[in-house]
Amino acid sequence: MNLRPYQSEAIAAVYEHLRTRDDNPCVVIPTGGGKTPVIATICRDAVGHWGGRVVLLAHVKELLEQAADKLRVIAPDVPMGIYSAGLKRKDLGYAVTVAGIQSIWKKACDLGPVDLIIVDEAHMVPAEDDGMYRQFIADAKVVNPNVRIIGLTATPYRMKSGSICAPENILNHVCYEVGVRELIVQGFLSPLKTKAGLQKISTDDLHVRAGEFVASEVEDLMDKAGLVEGACAEIAQHTKDRSATLIFSSGIRHGQHIVDVLKAKHGIECGFVTGDTPDGVRAAILGRFRAGELKYLCNVNVLTTGFDAPHIDCVAAVRPTMSPGLYYQMVGRGFRLHPGKSDCLVLDFGGNVLRHGPVDAIRIATDDRGEGEAPAKECPNCQALMAAGYQTCPQCGHQFPEPNRQQHEAKASTEGILSGQTTCEEHRVSETTYHVHSKRSDPSAPLTMRVEYRVGFNRYFREWVCFDHTGYARTKAEAWWRARSVEPVPGGTEEAVEMAKAGALAPTLSITVEKKAGDQFERVTQHALGDKPPRLDSEEGLPDRPPEPAGMTYGIPEDEIPF
């Protein structure tokens, strides 16, 4: 089996991390991007090249089945056992054990010493010092104190605690990450289209518990006759030419209501599965859906992770969620490629895109209700959803007014008509990233910090801050830093980038970009900044990304064990 380039890069980054660091790495690959081949290859190498023993943990049997099937293809000679009550297997003593965490969490000592524990869907590991994953890992360390843990996930964050990687957590550092938009551009994931529901809901009166809307209140809100009939009408209208539609409802009563309305009002047969659906019935319904015999399938929180139906080309979220991970997992069911599938339509009836932002640039809220400026907006003409930076709707061409400007001020072009004439534009910033920059033409030149501002999905502006220079350039860099941070001014560029990535700088809300007619590049001249963050607990920055792999086994000699 030939791995995709980013899958090989991910494996090499894991091995480099294990070889050069003492903590535990995490790999971030989008839903549909192929985490399972990465897992299977690591298992093969750990056993075949380095004589190790591996346990793969997951929380649903579908993920266990996928991993076992892929390992048989990639490494048919590797002895593999399965330990899962759901799969009716309790194998022990194998080089690789594929295990359901619910079945094996008290059995770590029965496995004997293992060298690697791989956790699929690693965001399921709780941040608190309890839970089945933590108990299993703690017991495994009793048998082998040197056991290493590798996590893989599409969503490296939790609703309440933020990133799953931290010095005090089980996973400590994201060693490799590839994004949704990057894989769409490279042709490995399906393009996405989004629309909001015509009927709007307000979640202002919903209570929040443990970072999520109270489930019973959500179902009461969404299960109103007008909302259900309106949502079903839009689903029927927009999916006439679609192959497979997956619907997420707010509860069992709400889901059954959707199924009944689709049948009665539109003559549509829609399957329905919940956590209470018997295994045999559920398997039959999912089999019909995968085979194309059933075009519509509604579910309640059971087809988010581990469910693989690549032909899904419409996802209808008839529920709001405060969870960025759940939002991502719902939309992610439509990421996979399939013959004849040109894109996936996302019908958002719960305001989730507006709440969390585009799925390739999800905003992690810092408070219980996710207050703050919306990271996305809705076209008033066609209900398409897009990043807040768009000034023209990509679906229908509707022109949005510029921020703080009147509609009649819009112009066909902002480029000056005379040489030397200066024009200015203000842009809302959706993301700011910081990088160490060196001149290729002159490697001896001082380093600079390259600051990149993303406006919209794919437009970027850059500026360079010169901490390693002297004179006026250094003075200007110091003023730039003091305007954004309560931390002492860094001594050099590398320190500045590390501190910026660690959260030392105020967010940039918008930038003003100046351009002179005839000049090739724009210049960032003004910034609207958010509040300065408090002092960092630690000034240790994030380590550099591992170097590019080289050599026979992803840069690691076969006689040098990386774990």
d(CA 107, CA 126): 19
Read off the pLDDT of residues 143-180 as tens digits, 9 standing for 90 and up: 999 999 999 998 887 755 577 888 888 999 999 999 88
Residues 298 and 419 in one domain: no
Residues 360 and 448 in one domain: no
Question: Given this model, what pLDDT does residue 307 score?
Answer: 82
Question: Given this model, what pLDDT does residue 212 score?
Answer: 86
Q: Which of 130, 155, 183 is the last residue of a domain?
A: 183
**Could you tell me the two tokens for 6?**
């980013």
On whether residue 110 sits in a domain, the answer given is yes
Task: Please count the other Cβ atoms lying within 10 Å of the Cβ belonging to residue 436.
Answer: 16
> What average pLDDT does this structure show over 528-535?
92
Q: Is residue 409 very low, low, confident or very high in pLDDT (cuts 50, 70, 90)?
A: very low
Phi first, then psi, for residue 39 (nearest 5°) are: -60, -50
More confidently predicted of 369 and 439: 439
On whether residue 556 sits in a domain, the answer given is no
- The proportion of the chain whose per-residue pLDDT surpasses 70, expressed as a percent, equals 81
> What average pLDDT does this structure show over 417-430?
65
Question: Given this model, what pLDDT does residue 520 score?
Answer: 58
Question: Given this model, what pLDDT does residue 325 score?
Answer: 84
DSSP-derived 3-state class of residue 273 = strand
> What average pLDDT does this structure show over 481-499?
93
d(CA 329, CA 335): 10
Residues 122 and 267 in one domain: no
545: left (phi over 0), alpha (psi -120 to 50) or beta: beta
Residues 57 and 164 in one domain: yes
Q: Is residue 196 very low, low, confident or very high in pLDDT (cuts 50, 70, 90)?
A: low
Chain-centroid distance, C-alpha 305: 13
More confidently predicted of 114 and 386: 114
- The proportion of the chain whose per-residue pLDDT surpasses 90, expressed as a percent, equals 49
Q: What share of the chain is helix, strand, coil (3-state, %, to 5)?
A: 30, 25, 50
Residues 6+ apart with CB under 8 A from 450: 434, 435, 436, 437, 462, 463, 464
Question: Given this model, what pLDDT does residue 158 score?
Answer: 72
Any idea what the CATH number is for the domain that residue 275 is in? 3.40.50.300
Read off the pLDDT of residues 340-361 as tens digits, 9 standing for 90 and up: 999 999 999 998 888 887 787 7
On whether residue 517 sits in a domain, the answer given is yes
More confidently predicted of 304 and 508: 508
When the pLDDT of each residue in the chain is averaged and rounded to a whole number, the result is: 83
Residues 220 and 172 in one domain: no
More confidently predicted of 396 and 309: 309
Question: Given this model, what pLDDT does residue 229 score?
Answer: 93
Residues 300 and 358 in one domain: yes
User: Number of folded domains in the chain?
Assistant: 3
Q: Cα dihedral sign for 468, 532, 170, 42?
A: negative
367: left (phi over 0), alpha (psi -120 to 50) or beta: beta
pLDDT of residue 547 exceeding 70, the answer is no
Read off the pLDDT of residues 278-325 as tens digits, 9 standing for 90 and up: 989 999 999 999 999 999 999 998 887 778 899 999 999 999 998 888
DSSP-derived 3-state class of residue 516 = strand
DSSP 455-514: ETTTEEEEEEE-TT--HHHHHHHHHHHHTT-SSPPPSSHHHHHHHHHTT-SPPEEEEEEE
On whether residue 469 sits in a domain, the answer given is yes
Task: Please count the other Cβ atoms lying within 10 Å of the Cβ belonging to residue 106.
Answer: 11
Question: Given this model, what pLDDT does residue 273 score?
Answer: 96
> What average pLDDT does this structure show over 73-93?
89
Q: Which domain holds residue 463?
A: 407-529
Contact indicator for 296, 189 with CB cutoff of 8 Å: no
Q: Is residue 536 very low, low, confident or very high in pLDDT (cuts 50, 70, 90)?
A: confident
Question: Given this model, what pLDDT does residue 418 score?
Answer: 38
The three-point CA angle 54-55-56 to 5° equals: 120
Residues 155 and 37 in one domain: yes
More confidently predicted of 323 and 442: 323
Residues 164 and 218 in one domain: no
Q: Is residue 61 very low, low, confident or very high in pLDDT (cuts 50, 70, 90)?
A: confident
Residues 136 and 204 in one domain: no
Residues 171 and 199 in one domain: no
More confidently predicted of 392 and 194: 194
Task: Please count the other Cβ atoms lying within 10 Å of the Cβ belonging to residue 419.
Answer: 9
d(CA 544, CA 546): 6
Residues 362 and 249 in one domain: yes
Q: Is residue 523 very low, low, confident or very high in pLDDT (cuts 50, 70, 90)?
A: confident
Contact indicator for 510, 426 with CB cutoff of 8 Å: yes
On whether residue 247 sits in a domain, the answer given is yes
* Residue with token string 């305007």: 483
On whether residue 510 sits in a domain, the answer given is yes
Q: Which of 136, 151, 183 is the last residue of a domain?
A: 183
On whether residue 202 sits in a domain, the answer given is yes
pLDDT of residue 216 exceeding 90, the answer is yes
> What average pLDDT does this structure show over 37-52?
92
Q: Which of 136, 165, 183 is the last residue of a domain?
A: 183
Q: Is residue 43 very low, low, confident or very high in pLDDT (cuts 50, 70, 90)?
A: very high
Strand partners, 514: 424, 523
Residues 6+ apart with CB under 8 A from 185: none
Question: Given this model, what pLDDT does residue 128 score?
Answer: 65
Question: Given this model, what pLDDT does residue 414 score?
Answer: 35
Question: Given this model, what pLDDT does residue 514 score?
Answer: 83
Contact indicator for 319, 218 with CB cutoff of 8 Å: yes
Read off the pLDDT of residues 447-488 as tens digits, 9 standing for 90 and up: 999 999 988 656 788 898 999 998 888 889 999 999 999 999
d(CA 9, CA 390): 33
d(CA 56, CA 475): 53
Nearest to 39 by CA among 93, 85, 80, 89: 80
Question: Given this model, what pLDDT does residue 287 score?
Answer: 94
Residues 163 and 229 in one domain: no
Read off the pLDDT of residues 95-147 as tens digits, 9 standing for 90 and up: 999 999 999 999 999 999 999 999 998 888 876 656 889 999 999 999 999 99
On whether residue 555 sits in a domain, the answer given is no
